């Protein structure tokens, strides 16, 4: 089994949870979904197994996503989910609890930070640290954030888009907005309802987004079939949808991300802005994979915009890499030790 002083990094995302173990790399990647029997309060499934149940459960079973907009919306279910993932990856360690770093969006409040630390500690963690998502994303993308140079990271997850300018290991200017992967799906559901009188589920919307979704007009129009319920007849209906329609459906949430990037650049000191102009903007997170989103940001800012290698795993890798330099980062991190002292 694992040795003493096990060190773990957790990317606690709205859409998925990734667990990094020092010396082993990413050992778990599962959706942030929990299925519970309402009658007995029994945990039926966690992760991928529970995700398959979304929108398909009988009355007594409920599939919950306990994190909303990057923060804990259901404390008890989050704790149970974390307990399951920690036990699955670390074993049942009662004597030597793992040291854990948890990733949170940059705009979270002190109350939300406390909730993340307490949920992780209750779920079986030892000393728990928090790291801000843009810093973890920058480390995971291979940027050297310790130097006095400006780096800009746009991390688009399921619940939040975190935009930050980082220099000397800290955040200089940032903005966290609740326009990300989930909002893309909701925009597609709304569009299909309004334009075609077709009610589709979030999983269908996600499939449309990933297959033909685009933030920038495509040179060649693509199409795919989707199924839903006709709101007029109440019967199932199949419809062909084009990438052009997806562009219009996604226009509002993607423009709010481009606007946020622009507003952070406006607040960036000129020397750092010059660095960013030379180095470019780095995009991470699953939402950055939306076709044409980097082109849209590049066109809006005039700065080259790149998608990091393995954008989905960037934050988890950066959280894991920060385990190596805990002494350096400890001053800028919040930990469970501070909370104990403040009580």
pLDDT value at position 180?
93
Give pLDDT, residue 60.
85
Per mean pLDDT, which of 52-66, 274-288, 310-324 is the most reliable? 274-288
Residue 107 CA to residue 70 CA, distance in Å, equals: 9
| Rounded CA separation 56/52 (Å) | 8
Quick one: pLDDT at residue 334? 59
Mean pLDDT along residues 265-278: 95
- Please say if the pLDDT value at position 261 is more than 60: yes
Q: What is the pLDDT of residue 213?
A: 95
Which domains, from first to last, does the chain contain? Answer: 7-135+315-342 (3.30.420.40), 142-179+254-312 (3.30.420.40), 181-250 (3.90.640.10)
Q: Residue 79: which of 148, 24, 10, 175 has the closest Cα?
A: 10
Mean pLDDT of 23-28: 90
Segment 84-109 shows an average pLDDT of 82
| Residue 303: predicted pLDDT | 96
| The model's pTM | 0.87
Alpha-carbon span 78 to 300, nearest angstrom: 38
Predicted pLDDT at 1: 35
pLDDT classification of 38: cutoffs 50, 70, 90: confident
Average pLDDT, the chain: 88
């Amino acid at each position: 089994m694992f040795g003493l002083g096990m060190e773990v990094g957790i990317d606690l995302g709205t859409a998925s949870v990734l667990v990094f173990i020092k010396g082993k790399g990413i050992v778990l990647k599962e959706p942030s979904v929990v299925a519970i029997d309402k009658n007995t309060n029994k945990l039926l499934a966690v992760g991928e197994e529970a995700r398959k149940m979304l929108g398909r459960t009988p009355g007594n079973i409920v599939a919950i996503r306990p994190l909303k907009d990057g923060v804990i919306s259901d404390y008890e279910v989050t704790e149970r989910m974390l307990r399951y993932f920690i036990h699955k990856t670390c074993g049942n360690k009662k004597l030597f609890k793992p040291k854990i770093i948890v990733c949170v969006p940059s705009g979270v409040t002190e109350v939300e930070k406390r909730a993340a630390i307490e949920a992780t500690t209750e779920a079986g963690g030892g000393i728990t640290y928090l790291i801000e998502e843009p810093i973890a994303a920058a480390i995971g993308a291979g940027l050297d954030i310790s130097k006095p140079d400006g780096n800009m990271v746009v991390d688009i997850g399921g619940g939040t888009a975190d935009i930050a300018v980082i220099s000397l290991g800290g955040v200089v200017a940032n903005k966290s907005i609740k326009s990300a992967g989930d909002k893309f799906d909701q925009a597609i559901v709304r569009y299909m309802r309004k334009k075609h009188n077709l009610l589709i589920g979030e999983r269908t919307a996600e499939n449309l987004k990933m297959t033909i979704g685009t933030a920038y007009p495509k040179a060649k129009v693509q199409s795919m079939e989707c199924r839903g319920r006709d709101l007029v007849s109440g019967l199932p209906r199949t419809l062909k949808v084009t990438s052009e329609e997806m562009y219009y459906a996604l226009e509002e949430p993607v423009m709010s991300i481009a606007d946020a990037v622009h507003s952070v650049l406006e607040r960036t000191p000129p020397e750092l802005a010059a660095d960013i102009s030379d180095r470019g903007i780095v995009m991470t997170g699953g939402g950055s994979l939306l076709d044409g989103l980097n082109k849209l940001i590049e066109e809006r800012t005039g700065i080259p915009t790149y998608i990091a290698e393995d954008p989905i795993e960037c934050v988890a890798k950066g959280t894991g890499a920060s385990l190596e330099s805990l002494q350096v980062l400890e001053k800028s991190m919040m930990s469970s030790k501070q909370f104990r002292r403040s009580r």
